Amino acid sequence: MSEPEIITETTEVRVSATPIAMSGIIVSMMMMAGASGVGFAYVPISLSRMGFEPWVAAAMTPALSFGGLVGCLVMGWLLRLSGHARIFMTVYALITLSFLVIMVTDNPVLWIGARMLYGFAINGAFIIAQSWLHDVATDDNRGRVITVFYVSYVVALGFGSFSIGLVDLDSHIPMAIAVALVTFAIIPVGLTRLRQPVPPEEVNVEIGKVWRISPVGLLGMLCVGGLTMTLQGFAPIYSGELGYAPADIGLLMLMMQMGVLVVQLPMGALSDRIDRRYVLFIVAAMSAMMALVMTVTGSNLSYLWLILVFAVWSGSVETIYSVSSAIANDRADPRHFVFLSSTQMIAWSAGAFIIPLMNTLLLQFLPVEMFITVILWISSMFAVFVLSRVFVRDSVSPQTADSFRYATAQVVNTTEYYNPEAQEQALEDAGVGVSEGLVK
């Protein structure tokens, strides 16, 4: 007689990684942020010192954003091809290459190509880091881990820009520092023992469905991509045109990052207690007000007042990003989080490319101050739209809404699209019609 066949089943248990193991990814991205901050300050300052028109420096922003948009579209395919660790180190190598191109040549055309390559790679690095942290964290600590990740990134980015005033801009030292930081950033990733997350599915963009879920959330993502990249890109160009030294510009860029923390955290907490649309209206109105102040006062502001205005301006613009994401999540069925997040990611990337590209074209015929008018109009129109939606649609009860999560609008935020647990839940619910869960 033959032996009976014994069938066994195994169950995978998700175990949270230790804080030390997760800190490797966070520390790596902090060093990357420091290098990025150096680049964001060095490129516009150096182009101005070389005598190029302001539109040349402005052209670096849409180039960076276009590369980032491509990165969002293909990063999932690359992760399915080779895995998180290999692609993480690959995009770090591409960032190093982009900095080396800027270090060894003064050709602005090559710099545009380098910034495009950087945009592709930095979005890839951020996508991988978020995906990895989402995977190894648990429901109990995921919020804290992601908040620490974002705050540390923003602070390091600011200090990277601030360091531009401490080095000789006529030498290769600034970009050599950036290259060194990226090189050191590879080490924690190369030594990590974190498990490899499950690669994500293909990007699923559902503009119509996301619009029905949350028009405010979708339009907010589209607008804030352009607002953030415009403000961050023009701040060093504008302050340079006012005659400020590189050290002053570096300090301004650092204070802008601090403004992101000072404004966004209390506004985020407020959005957990009242209708988030009122918070969106407040911060959009704040952005418009700062633009109006800059329009009226122009170059008459003292340096300290300039820092204060740009810090509040930056913080208010970036709060649009996180609150818009929270509004969309509040109104969506959990099984729709994956396509919702991927659509928001692409909307942010599209806005971050289209509006800076428009600014670059306008800058060939208009003075640098035109960016203030662009931000004023976009912020004002978005504020009016948000307020109008308050009278069209009921609010979501704070008791049923998710808690606010801090995020920065200067890089792509994947939210649930690259969260492996959300991917698994979406696959389990694949048999449920998508249209059934849309909030009417």
Centroid of chain to Cα 389: 26
Dihedral sign, Cα of residue 202, residue 206, residue 207, residue 210: negative
For residues 309 and 253, give the distance between their C-alpha atoms in angstroms, rounded to a whole number: 12
Question: What pLDDT score does 181 carry?
Answer: 94
Mean pLDDT of the chain: 81
**8 A C-beta contact, residue 209 and residue 298:** no
> Model confidence over 4-37: pLDDT tens digits?
554 444 444 444 556 666 788 888 889 999 999 9
Delineate the domains of the chain, giving CATH numbers in brackets: 19-437 (1.20.1250.20)
Question: Which position has the higher pLDDT, 49 or 78?
Answer: 49
Question: What pLDDT score does 17 carry?
Answer: 57
* Residue 361: count of CB within 10 angstroms of its CB: 14
Instruction: Return all residues near 236 (Cβ < 8 A) that are at least 6 apart.
Output: 40, 41, 44, 45, 57, 249, 252, 253
> Phi-psi category of 138—alpha, beta or left, where left has phi over 0 and alpha has psi -120 to 50?
beta
Question: Which position has the higher pLDDT, 335 or 188?
Answer: 188
Provide the whole-model pTM: 0.84
pLDDT at 285 over 70: yes
CA 316-320-326 angle, to 5 degrees, is: 135
Question: Which position has the higher pLDDT, 84 or 143?
Answer: 84
> Model confidence over 81-99: pLDDT tens digits?
877 778 888 999 999 999 9
Burial of 241 (0-12, 13-18, 19+ CB in 10 A): middle
* Residue 401: count of CB within 10 angstroms of its CB: 18
> Model confidence over 31-63: pLDDT tens digits?
999 999 999 999 999 999 998 999 999 999 999
Residue 47, CA distances (Å) to 50, 170, 344, 364, 409 in order: 5, 12, 33, 16, 25
